[in-house]
Amino acid sequence: MLRRRDNPLFNKVLRRVEAEELAAARRRDEAEQEDFARQFRVLLDSALCLKPNEESQTLLDLKARLDQAYTQLASLGGDTEPFRQGLRRLTDTIIAAVRQAAARDPHALEELVHEQLAREQHYRLMEFPLVADLMRPDSPIAAEELPAALLSSSMEELEAAIWLFGPDELRALCHAARTLLSETGTDYGCENLVLLESHLSES
């Protein structure tokens, strides 16, 4: 919603955000936070119920749930830092247990190192609101609004989001972005289009 507000790349109806809409959005944010708090308690209980020599698959299943929760958390409004730190600590605890179980398996340990690097990269990407919103199954960015959202994002945020799209998707987005800029008659977002097209030429 804030991306649309007074943004020349959106039509007049979408860029006009009323106070009532903002209030409704805040209420949705609060409801989502309350729902996430309940999910977090369930995850915490699951971690506390783990046995000392828990099976690796059980640990990995819980880690997958933690990763999913982190992705969901990244797009929530309000102060989410306590949950963010809590999820990271829980994930670190699970990974330590998996590493201990794989102590005599060099290949498994190597895989864990690669997985840790990928997880840290995921955490960094989730710091960008655009990426977090696009990663949500119920993304608040509608498909028809995506070109405008990409063109009006910061360059750093756009760089982080580009990896989400394959060559065909990127080609379609570049075409839609060029059309949008032509229709709106603005140069707002032109630099972002150049970046999108440069990535397309490299793919």
Output the pLDDT for position 52.
82
Calculate the average pLDDT of the chain.
Answer: 87
Question: Per-residue pLDDT for 13 more than 70?
Answer: no
Across 97-123, average pLDDT: 86
Is there a contact between 1 and 21 (Cβ–Cβ < 8 Å)? Answer: yes
Are 199 and 174 in contact by the 8 Å Cβ rule? The answer is no
Higher pLDDT, 17 or 38: 38
pLDDT of residue 26: 81
Give the residue from 145, 115, 116, 141 showing the smallest Cα distance to 128: 141
pLDDT of residue 99: 86
Write out pLDDT tens, residues 119-175: 899 889 999 999 999 988 888 898 999 999 999 999 999 999 999 999 999 999 999
Tell me if 126 sits within 8 A of 71, measured CB to CB: yes
Q: How many whole angstroms separate alpha carbon 75 and alpha carbon 130?
A: 8
**Between 134 and 3, residue with greater pLDDT:** 134
Least confident of 57-66, 75-84, 99-108: 99-108
Rounded mean pLDDT, 78-98:
90
Confidence of residue 2 (pLDDT cuts 50, 70, 90): low
Q: Which of 3-17, 88-102, 148-162 has the highest mean pLDDT?
A: 148-162
Mean pLDDT of 57-64: 90
Of the pLDDT bands very low, low, confident and very high (cuts 50, 70, 90), residue 30 is confident
| Position 103 confidence tier, pLDDT thresholds 50, 70, 90 | confident
Collect all residues with Cβ–Cβ distance below 8 Å to 73 and sequence separation of at least 6. 36, 80, 83, 84, 87
Give the pLDDT of residue 165. 93
Q: Quote the pLDDT of residue 109.
A: 85
Model confidence pLDDT, tens digit, residues 39-60: 999 999 999 998 888 888 898 8
